[in-house]
Amino acid sequence: MSRVAIVTGGSRGIGRTTAERLAADGFAVVVVYAGNSVEAQSAVDAITAAGGQAIAAQADVADEQAVAAVFDTAEQTFGGVDVVVHAAGVMHLAPLAELDLSVLDGMHRTNVRGTFVVDQQAARRVRSGGAIVNFSSSVVGIALPGYAAYAATKGAVEAITLVLARELRGRDITVNAVAPGPTATALFLDGKDPETIARMAAQAPLERLGTPADIAEVVSFLAGPARWVNGQVIRANGGVI
């Protein structure tokens, strides 16, 4: 029987590449998307065309009933859940003094409550030998101007991750977070001019932006062979910090 992975934010960007990588690793994958069913189906089609198993499931990650239904679907379709990758998130940038507080609340709902809700179901339902992988951001350490609200939500993700790893003592389930640096995704590139992108690409000693495949490789490691890596935040950023 295949191991089973749920990937939130799995219809685009790092989440989609991660879903495709886990499918290539032999996982049956549930691609969770917020609203764009066309993108989600495209991800499923790409996985199945490559010989993998996948289905799409819609959910607002901050809605506990919708997230529970995704886990129900995974169990009913594939027999259980072994890995949960929570890649869904939103980012809005502005100086702290200028950020609309309704935007702050929206980011908090998706990034913090969403992580809590997804991890709550994962903690209850992931099988022994499994893994939970959350997504933080290297901006928590880099502390770039304009990122205060977003970095604050990702700092919360790191706290949730480290505590949950300890709460699952005795379950043989690892809990880690991946914190990408500048990565060439639509989420990162949107609204940035070429000079800004070039400057951020030059920050890493490797002198390039990360790619979704770079990040998916780390998730693949944490989801599979990395049984002795637990309660950690992996800063996958090419050496920026």
Burial of 41 (0-12, 13-18, 19+ CB in 10 A): middle
Residues in contact with 24: Cβ distance below 8 Å, sequence separation at least 6, in sequence order? 50, 52
CA distance 85 to 217: 13
* Candidate list 149, 150, 176, 214, residue with the active-site label: 150
Q: Are 181 and 240 in contact (CB under 8 A)?
A: yes
Q: In the block, which residue shows the tokens 């996958």?
A: 236
CA distance 151 to 47: 32
Residues in contact with 160: Cβ distance below 8 Å, sequence separation at least 6, in sequence order? 112, 115, 116, 119, 134
* Closest to 18 measured CA to CA, from 175, 115, 134: 134
Residue 74 Ramachandran class (φ > 0 left, ψ -120 to 50 alpha, else beta): alpha
147 is an active site residue = no
Angle (deg, nearest 10), helices 64-78 and 114-125: 40
CA distance 111 to 118: 11
Buried b (16+ CB within 10 A) or exposed e, 122-158: bbebbbeebbbbbbbbbbbbbeeeebbbbbbbbbbbb
Query: Which residues are catalytically annotated?
Result: 150
